[in-house]
Amino acid sequence: MSYSVGQVAVFAGITVRTLHHYDEIALLSPSCTPEIHRGLGDLYVSDKRFRDFYDSMRPGLAEHVRAAIHANADRVG
């Protein structure tokens, strides 16, 4: 079964633009190691610009994104 980008965005609770950003930085690419994923997740919380951006959409979203990225990295790594 395949899903549109819009459907995945709704399911994930993020915007289509965010999914395109993830694609641009190869976050969703299998070539990224679990360590790279974890580092990016940590960046979303530690860098004030990213944290403020995510938290402006929904308070606590930066932490949620980090936890989701870490969980995925643990699953594949």
- Note down pLDDT in tens along the chain; length 77 residues: 677 888 888 877 889 999 888 888 877 766 778 888 899 899 989 999 989 998 999 999 999 989 998 998 888 76
| The residue type at 26 | A
d(CA 39, CA 13): 21
Other beta carbons within 10 angstroms of residue 21's beta carbon come to 12
Contact criterion met (CB below 8 Å) for 77 and 33: yes
How do the domains of the chain map onto residue ranges? 5-76
Per-residue confidence (pLDDT) for residue 30, from 0 to 100: 64
Per-residue confidence (pLDDT) for residue 59, from 0 to 100: 93
Q: What is the pTM of this model?
A: 0.58
For 1-8, the CB contacts below 8 A with 24+ separation are none
Per-residue confidence (pLDDT) for residue 1, from 0 to 100: 60
Per-residue confidence (pLDDT) for residue 4, from 0 to 100: 83
